[in-house]
Amino acid sequence: MQVLLQLGLSLVLLAPQYTTTAAAPSSQCQRQCGNVDIPYPFGIGVNCSLSKRFTINCTVQDGIHKPFRGDFEVLDISLTHATIRMLNYILGFCYNTSTRSMESVGRYGRRIQIRSGPSSPLRLSDARNKFTVIGCNALAFISDNDTGYQGLGVATCRDPLELVDGSCSGMGCSQTTIPNKIYNYEVGFSTFANTSRIWRFNRCSYAVLMEAAEFKFDVSYINTTKFNDTNAGRAPVVYDWAIRDVVRCDVARRNKTGTYACLSSNSKCVDSTNDQGYMCNCTHGYEGNPYLQDGCTDVNECNYNPCPSDGFCHNIIGEHWCSCRVGKRYVKQSNTCNPDTGFIIGVTMGLFGLMVFIVITIFWGQLIIQKRKLNKVKQEYFRQHGGLLLFDRMKSDKGLAFTVYSLAELIHATDNFDNSRILGKGGHGTVYKGIIKNMPIAVKRCALVDDRQKKEFGQEMLILSQINHKNIVKLLGCCLEVEVPILVYEFVPHGTLFELIHGKNHALQISFNTLLRIAHEAAEGLCFLHSYASPPIIHGDVKTSNILLDDNYMAKVSDFGASILAPSDKEQFVTMVQGTCGYLDPEYMQTCQLTEKSDVYSFGVILLEILTGQLPLKLKGSETQRSLSSIFLSAMKENNLDAVLVSHVKGEESMELLRGLADLAKKCLDMCGDNRPFMKEVADELNRLRKLSMHPWVRIDLEMDAESLLGGESTSGYEIELNGYPMGESENQPINPRSSYYAR
């Protein structure tokens, strides 16, 4: 007759419908029973577990506290793998020599039934358990009526000598896998198989569902009761556990109001692989209990030696990284520190390679040091030149159209100040053409300036930047990172008045009215610097090469950025000679005092160039014949103006106009500065003379002049052209080089 035992286990709890609650357990809850940790969601006692189905009983057995679920002793609980290990009872079936019949051995006889429900969090682990049968004539079964699963375990042998330790493939031992999703099962022996004929070397057979990793077949299990005696007739079995009230993680996440079990911020939800439900795990780089608030904490991976033994581990939040000592590099794929190829090459090359390395290291080190020194020098120059003052004013005056350029910007704009970009050179520096943001600019690298000018440079730049006059080249900005500041002006494309008078086309006759207009516009610009700038600005180097011509051939006074502000009483004297020979005020040569009248004298020389077409200074001839001003003043003294006038002007302009212009030049060239007119008076007189030249009684055939410059037929057979552009007389009218401005 078969024996049937039904177990009233904790797996068959008649508790209410299973639900989870996200409430955190009390800190007073017991978290250990004997030497076994009981982590949440499991717990001992009321309100210490996620639900009643996760409750563990801590009882005293043989004087020792041990955790139990029903009749099954708990060995350990894993949060990481979501498993619980318990001791399962071994089912024995032995031949009784006295009664000569098969009898059950152990607590439960020949058949074990374990009953649970689908709401239980536990499922038998199909990955970790195997149905194990031991014997030489053993036929055992395992079944689950809920799923319809049935399995058999058969172990046979004819002679103990055929058995091999560790082998469990049917000879004396067999192991059978089970499917997943099992929460009920029954184990028993068939009465058709008995050991009555082989009891002398195998009296007992055994069957148990147990953890496969904990079993290793021993030949002694066949002829002794050693297997049954292990753990008092018990063997470990593994259950997978999960939160079973929700099908999957996506459903659980949508239902976070009080029932979602993954409470830690660094946790993640994982679908159960053994029936429905989910578990919680800490994310990569974190460890702890994901079912508790802030339960997942950073893992110090370096404690587990994840890096090579000859490397270094660096822990960071959520992960780690490895490095190697000098001469080796870390290879992540193999987790090794391999020799650095560069280091091997260096060793192979020997001393030579080492020396090269040292030289390169020193070179780069010096380069870095020099770069740092250069940056410090740039900062010091910036401070010396008043850069801080400029920035403060630029911030406060938001409408101030002025830019402080970096040296790198200007180097890029001028192709590193390439010679092909040079527009001109002078006593105050070299001017280059540059391009910034598709806009042409003129970049002037100034010659050396004295300490006083360095200290006042920032203040002077603020003043100069605010000058806005149509006949003055606009100062756009500056660079203060160099010993001598670099100035940036608007680009004026059509050359200078010097080229118009003395350039490659100097032999051609130029419309006198054009030159008179340009002179008047230049005078207006200088008048603005002297009379309307605050404080007044003294140009110091007025000459025809510093009078530029724009697209409409309007005069623009340039190079005043290298000039000085009107000096105070304490700073009347300068140590360096200003200006250009031929234009230089003789009174300044005696007193070293630069005044507004010094600019007037230089402008008088410009008027002479217009009248005579000659250079202000000749290198040949006697001393009296070298200076144009001396030649002119001598001719005026002898009442012989006609001798110095350019030939084509004498035939085309009225002598009244020419004498008026000559008288103005004479006044400007007076040896005593106090006797010279102010620049405003010069501009007014030039304006009067221009009106005289345009008077209907004087102006003759202006339309014919315009037609000639625009490309019409010219009776004199020539036309004026500068840099490929014809010159204009006014804003919209061209100039005829053969115009006559006197009554015929």
Annotated binding-site residues for ATP read 444
Q: Quick check: bond before 41 cis, omega within 30?
A: yes
Q: Quick one: which of 81, 153, 145, 159 has its CA closest to 116? A: 145
Radius of gyration of the chain (CA): 54
Which residue shows structure tokens 């210490």?
A: 48
Q: Which one from 541, 559, 585, 705 is the annotated catalytic residue?
A: 541
CB 118 within 8 A of CB 197: no
CB 126 within 8 A of CB 180: yes
Q: Clarify whether 541 is annotated catalytic.
A: yes
Where do runs of H (alpha helix) occur along 638-731? 647-652, 655-668, 679-693, 702-709
Tell me how far apart the alpha carbons of residues 193 and 488 are, in angstroms, rounded to a whole number. 110
Tell me how far apart the alpha carbons of residues 59 and 65 are, in angstroms, rounded to a whole number. 5
Instruction: Collect all residues with Cβ–Cβ distance below 8 Å to 73 and sequence separation of at least 6.
Output: 61, 66, 67, 86, 87, 234
Tell me how far apart the alpha carbons of residues 241 and 707 are, in angstroms, rounded to a whole number. 105
Tell me how far apart the alpha carbons of residues 379 and 709 are, in angstroms, rounded to a whole number. 53
Name the amino acid, one letter, at 705. Answer: D
Name the amino acid, one letter, at 472. Answer: I
Please give the C-alpha separations between residue 189 and each of 134, 356, 691, in angstroms, as whole numbers.
Answer: 12, 84, 135
Structure token pair of residue 158: 């004819």
DSSP per residue over 5-54, as a string? EE---GGG--PSSP----PPPPTTSB-EETTEE--TTSBBSTTSSSSGGG
CB 31 within 8 A of CB 38: yes
Please give the C-alpha separations between residue 553 and each of 114, 377, 388, 503, 511, in angstroms, as whole numbers.
Answer: 110, 42, 38, 16, 13
Backbone angles phi, psi at 670, to 5 degrees: -60, 135
Strands 475-479 and 403-404, bridge-based pairing: parallel
Sheet holding 101-105, edge to edge: 101-105, 91-96, 204-211, 129-134, 173-176
Annotated binding site: 444
Helix 351-384 and helix 341-349, axial crossing angle in degrees, nearest 10: 110
SS3 content of the chain, % helix, strand, coil (to 5): 30, 25, 45
Backbone angles phi, psi at 486, to 5 degrees: -105, 135
The C-alpha angle 348, 354, 360, rounded to 5 degrees, equals 130
Helix 596-612 and helix 512-531, axial crossing angle in degrees, nearest 10: 180
Q: 678-690 b/e with 16+ CB inside 10 Å = b?
A: ebbbbbbbbeebe
Q: Which residues are catalytically annotated?
A: 541
